Structure 1
Amino acid sequence: MKHHQNFAGHRRRSAVTIAVTALAAALISSPAHAAVHSGGATPKGNVVGPLGPLTSIAVQRILLGDKVAEAKFGTDSPIDDPAREQQELQAVAAMAANAGIDPDASVRFFDAQIEANKVVQRGLYALWTKHPELRPSERPDLTKDVRPKLDQITTEIIEQLKATRDTRKPTATCHLQLLQAQLSTELRARLDALHRRALKTALQPVCT
């Protein structure tokens, strides 16, 4: 019986690997992928599967982490700001309750988005410290240029959390759909290693 269970588990993992590999090959050769240029924001169209829109929005938030890093680097503004983060999570809990979805699950998801943003900031800080020639030449205004966009993305994420609440149950199907969405978004946005690592952090709570 144990051997049979192990074999069945291996077959499921193999099926996931085959499906994701096939998806990667299809996306790499697709016109949608070829049209994406380096440094561009994640396209909202041509997302893959029911978790595609949520993953795409998560990437948009991650890419804004670059702007946050540019605004903070070389200033007294810390990467970690527990007081502000707590305010953001409290606001998310209230928005989730108003939307009729689980506030605790929503807060866990947004906490992961905050951590993903920090992954980007720390990675860019390290890069700019080691290579001063790559430091940004302009400093965005966090209040005017960045936070309004983050607020809009927060609203969109709440909408997607509501739309996908049944999809995000901890099942093998959810994990497969998440892999498909993650891989397709990485390819279309041409994320580098740093931003792929941030996206992995951001998506950890999706199927839990």
Structure 2
Amino acid sequence: MRRVLVLLFISLCQMLAACAQVPVPAAIQSEQTPPIKSLISLMTQRLEVAPLVAQSKWNSGAAINDPAREQAILADVEKQARTIDLDPRFAAAFFQAQFDAGKLIQSQLHQKWQKQKQAPFSPAPDLAKEVRPVLDQLTPQLLMVLKTIQPDLCNTGVKQSLQTATFGQTDDEVSKMAVSTLQCP
């Protein structure tokens, strides 16, 4: 019995070694999502929330810029970054760029709505109950992908993906702002 187990183990090792030498077909490789695609997708999801924030602030008359809230979020981002061994300054700079891109979207929409004499939205999204939970859910996902992508920021493919990235319906200025901190060190 013992001899049979040893022979099975040796056979299994040989099969695994043979499989390791077989190249992965392109069709299977294309099904895998590289971290840069995940990052762009998550950034897009986050920026797609900005119009909802703009509607809520339009209705309430709240200021687009909320430095106190941003600082609280950035402190939490830095704390979360430390727990996953990600540079907290890099994480905070990235999220500040996301805030700035989101505020730019909100400002653009508010300017448009002022010209159109937009009435209050009905119903307006509830920031606390509907919008912030979405953002809060995206934050740890973004941090994990940032940790994965940070060492590859000098990779030619990653740099090209970031330079050509578009984030839903955003314009070039918003896109450039969103990726501004994702530079090769």
Q: Fold conserved (TM > 0.5)?
A: yes
Distance in structure 2 (CA, Å) of the matches to 1:132 and 1:101:
45
CA positional deviation for 1:75:
2.3
CA positional deviation for 1:95:
0.4
- What runs of 5+ residues in structure 2 fail to find an aligned partner? 1-30
Write out the 4+ residue segments of structure 1 that deviate beyond 2 Å after TM superposition: 46-50, 132-138, 171-174
Q: Give the aligned partner of residue 136 of structure 1.
A: 121
Number of corresponding residues: 155
Matched, 1:78 2:102: no
Matched, 1:59 2:44: yes
Distance in structure 2 (CA, Å) of the matches to 1:92 and 1:82:
15
Distance in structure 1 (CA, Å) of the matches to 2:115 and 2:48:
21
Distance in structure 2 (CA, Å) of the matches to 1:47 and 1:204:
26
Spell out the pairing of 1:92-103 with structure 2 (5 A cutoff). 92-103=77-88
Distance in structure 2 (CA, Å) of the matches to 1:103 and 1:118:
22
Distance in structure 2 (CA, Å) of the matches to 1:119 and 1:47:
33
When Rg is computed on C-alpha atoms for both structures, the one with the higher figure is 2
User: What per-residue deviation string (whole Å, max 9, x for no partner) do you get for residues 60-79 of structure 1?
Assistant: 11110000001000424211
Structure 1 residues 127 and 113, CA gap change in structure 2 (3 angstroms): same
Q: Give the aligned partner of residue 149 of structure 1.
A: 134
User: What per-residue deviation string (whole Å, max 9, x for no partner) do you get for residues 47-71 of structure 1?
Assistant: 9854111111111111100000010
Q: Which has the higher contact order (CA 8 A, sep 6+)?
A: 1
Matched, 1:179 2:155: no
* Aligned-partner SS, 2:152: coil
Which of 164, 181, 185 does residue 205 from structure 1 map onto?
181
Structure 1 residues 56 and 111, CA gap change in structure 2 (3 angstroms): same
Distance in structure 1 (CA, Å) of the matches to 2:141 and 2:182:
15
- The question of whether the paired residues in 1 share the 8 Å contact of 2:81 and 2:91 is answered with yes
Q: Among the aligned pairs, what percent are the same residue?
A: 31
- What runs of 5+ residues in structure 1 fail to find an aligned partner? 1-45
* Aligned-partner SS, 2:131: helix
Which of 89, 103, 108 does residue 123 from structure 1 map onto?
108
Matched, 1:87 2:86: no
With the length of structure 1 as denominator, give the TM-score of the two structures. Answer: 0.67
Structure 1 residues 52 and 134, CA gap change in structure 2 (3 angstroms): farther
Structure 1 residues 174 and 192, CA gap change in structure 2 (3 angstroms): closer
Q: Give the aligned partner of residue 111 of structure 1.
A: 96
CA positional deviation for 1:123:
0.4
- The question of whether the paired residues in 2 share the 8 Å contact of 1:70 and 1:139 is answered with yes
With the length of structure 2 as denominator, give the TM-score of the two structures. Answer: 0.75
* Aligned-partner SS, 2:122: coil
